[in-house]
Amino acid sequence: MARTRTLTLAHGDMETLKILPPSYNDLETLARNWAKPPPNAPFALRVPVQYASVQASVCLPVRYSMFADNFEQLHDEESYQIATMGVHGLYVEVVSDTPPPVEPPPPPPPPVLEMPATFNLELGPGQVVAIDTICESDELDMSRTEDGIVVGGMFMGKLDIVHDHDAKIHKMEFTGTRLKEEEYSPDFFFDARTMGKLTIAAKPSVAKCNLSILSPQQQYCDVTLAFSPLWRLGHTWPPAENLAHDKAKFFLRVNPGGAMEHFESETVVTSLYYEAIPEASAIDPLTMIGPHNSFAMPTSQFIPHISKVLEDLGFSVPARTAFITNQLPNFVAYKNIAYRFMSPNRLAAAIDLSVTCSPCVWTRIFLLYRGVSDDELSAFAGSGDKDLREGHWRGIIGWNDQSTHKDQFRVLETSVLELN
């Protein structure tokens, strides 16, 4: 009878005795089922040289170089058959590096059930009071949400304090949004002055339009405004007659020299004023005024620059002076200004203008501008004061030299839209 050959498997401090399997694949399966290495853990089998067969110690170093650190590495069927050749038993070590156990996450900090609260409140300009109190909760953590999001930082919003003694209601409610810490210092205080700036910034964009009529003789005329669905009429002077929700009319008697008689208000003016308000959703300042279609420069250069542009468009000295002085407070609010003029076709699609006198020479100048930072100004390289070619804006607005002829019935409209 053939003698049963044995297999000793060793792994760490454990050993077990098995029947020597006939093949390497059977050995590996047997070793894996016994050692149960973790998934994806390294796994190897080796035989100490003192337990290997004589043939292995003679053949393998020459043929396969399988010995390392006095071990024969078993990696395929051939190395296994050589190691078991002529032996009655085999000692095999299972080499499997078990990954270190995963450290459990640190326990969450204890809930915050009480914390001091201080409110510095401005009741009126310069009248600041402080409320020191304690916020308490029986079981709800005031430092984080239920899903573990930490509630902290600087917030801006609305604090509603109600004291109704009759109804016995006394409560505080705050609604706000977290601010970026790098944009505000810890000493930031939201006072009436800051509130005023935000109120100005939150105002909708409004195009302010002035329309003058220069007639060679006295005559009556109607001036009609028609707005696209994305625009609406604001204030007017003199008061315009509303014809529909998107249309209004001025009935005038125009005189040589520019005087216009408005019969309904019984006033005489040299220009009609109206406001055109665009839908906020239709305004994208970065698209409407960008390096692809506009020019930009420091404000100190922009003001004399725009004066020269207006001169090139036929503005008289009084008209240029009035334009600059009316817009100066808005211009100087910015360090740099980017601007462009709207083309007649796009302007007419937004705000259509008509008069009952024919023929008529039209000059409609619609200025769009916005402030830009120093970093954004660099994106306008090649679109500065010195880069504007002569007559550029004349071509954009469709300027006609007949607008300077006094024997023509002429309409001159200047509009300015500041984009916030």
Instruction: State the amino acid at position 114 in one-letter form.
Output: E
What pTM, to 2 d.p., does this model score? 0.55
User: What pLDDT score was predicted for residue 60?
Assistant: 47
Does the structure show a pLDDT above 80 at 393? yes
Does the structure show a pLDDT above 50 at 62? no
User: What pLDDT score was predicted for residue 67?
Assistant: 41
**Per-residue pLDDT tens digits for 314-350:** 888 988 999 999 999 999 999 999 999 999 899 999 9
* Joined tokens for residue 83: 């190691």
Does the structure show a pLDDT above 80 at 197? no
What is the pLDDT averaged over residues 179-196?
Answer: 67
User: What pLDDT score was predicted for residue 71?
Assistant: 73
Q: Which of 59, 60, 18, 54 is nearest to 35 (CA)?
A: 18
* Joined tokens for residue 241: 């007659």
**Per-residue pLDDT tens digits for 83-141:** 888 788 888 888 876 555 566 788 878 888 899 988 888 887 778 888 888 888 888 88
Mean pLDDT over all residues of the chain? 84
Q: How confident is the model at residue 64 (pLDDT cuts 50, 70, 90)?
A: very low
Instruction: State the amino acid at position 7 in one-letter form.
Output: L
- Sequence-distant (≥ 6) Cβ neighbours of residue 32 within 8 angstroms: 43
Cα(341)–Cα(364) distance, rounded to whole angstroms? Answer: 10
CA 217 from chain center: how many Å?
Answer: 56
Whether residue 48 is preceded by a cis peptide bond, meaning omega within 30 degrees of 0, is no
Sequence length of the chain is 420
* Joined tokens for residue 334: 């910015």
* Joined tokens for residue 193: 């002055």
What is the pLDDT averaged over residues 284-288?
Answer: 87
Please calculate the CA angle 145-149-151 and round it to the nearest 5 degrees. 75
| Strand 67-68 to 219-227 pairing | unpaired
**What HEC string does the chain produce?**
CCCCCEEEEEECCEEEEEECCCCHHHHHHHHHHHHCCCCCCCCEEEEEHHHCCHHHHHHHHHHCCCEECCEEEECCHHHHHHHHCCCCEEEEEEECCCCCCCCCCCCCCCCCCEEEEEEEEEEECCEEEEEEEEEECCCCCCCECCCCCECCCCEEEEEEEEEECCCCEEEEEEEEEECCHHHCCCCCCCCHHHHHHHHHHCCCCCEEEEEEEECCCCEEEEEEEEECCCEEEEEEECCCEEEECCEEEEEEEECCCCCEEECCCCEEECCEEEEEEECHHHCCHHHHCCCCCCEEEEHHHHHHHHHHHHHHCCCCHHHHHHHHHHHHHHHCCCCEEEEEECCHHHHHHHEEEEECCCCCEEEEEEEEEEEECHHHHHHHCCCCHHHCCCCHHHHHHCCCHHHHCCCCCEEEEEEEEECC
Does the structure show a pLDDT above 80 at 254? yes
User: With pLDDT > 70 as the criterion, what percentage of the chain qualifies?
Assistant: 87
Taking phi first (over 0 means left), then psi (-120 to 50 degrees means alpha), and beta for anything else, what does residue 321 get? alpha
Instruction: State the amino acid at position 194 in one-letter form.
Output: T
**Per-residue pLDDT tens digits for 88-97:** 888 888 887 6
